Amino acid sequence: MWYINFRQWGDCMFMGEYQHNIDTKGRLIIPAKFREHMMAGFVITRGLDDCLFGYPMAEWEKLEQKLKQLPLTKRDNRAFTRFFFSGATEVDLDKSGRINIPNNLLSFAKIEKECVILGVSNRIEIWDQAKWQSYYEDSTESFADLAENMFDSNIDF
């Protein structure tokens, strides 16, 4: 039987796929299961693959410490940290369980209305729905190859 041992990475906070709409003011309803992890503060920033990444404050602080360790003498390190941190913004949940995503981040991820919120262990990802569907379909074909390559990384399934 195959299983993923998440305990080696710590507790799995976010998982699942949820479809929601962004309203005309840039507000997005956060799935109820995710909200408890956002109460102490939450940061949204530019992610990879044209999506947004969202981190609870404790996870963001861990990531920030790791990125501070990167040598500034390397051009790629400077470029990545500039891009990543300059897009970051702290967001709060309103009484209706929504966050307000700034226009610059919505533009970056090309999110206009329909979106998908993914739980990905210690972060959430927010995707334009059509972009996610395309990415998902492309990745489904190579999922077995991805899993095989993870064995090389000593990931225990």
Of 53, 56, 119, nearest to 93 by C-alpha is 56
DSSP type of residue 30 = P
Task: State which fold the 12-145 domain adopts.
Answer: Chemotaxis protein chec (3.40.1550)
Report d(CA 28, CA 132) in Å as an integer: 17
Report d(CA 56, CA 43) in Å as an integer: 6
pLDDT tens series, the chain, 157 aa: 333 333 333 454 899 999 999 999 999 999 999 998 888 889 999 999 999 999 999 999 999 999 999 998 999 999 999 999 999 999 999 999 999 999 999 999 999 999 999 999 999 999 999 999 999 988 877 777 777 777 655 544 4
In sequence order, what are the beta bridge partners of 14?
A: 121
The pTM assigned to this predicted structure is 0.85
Domain extents in the chain: 12-145
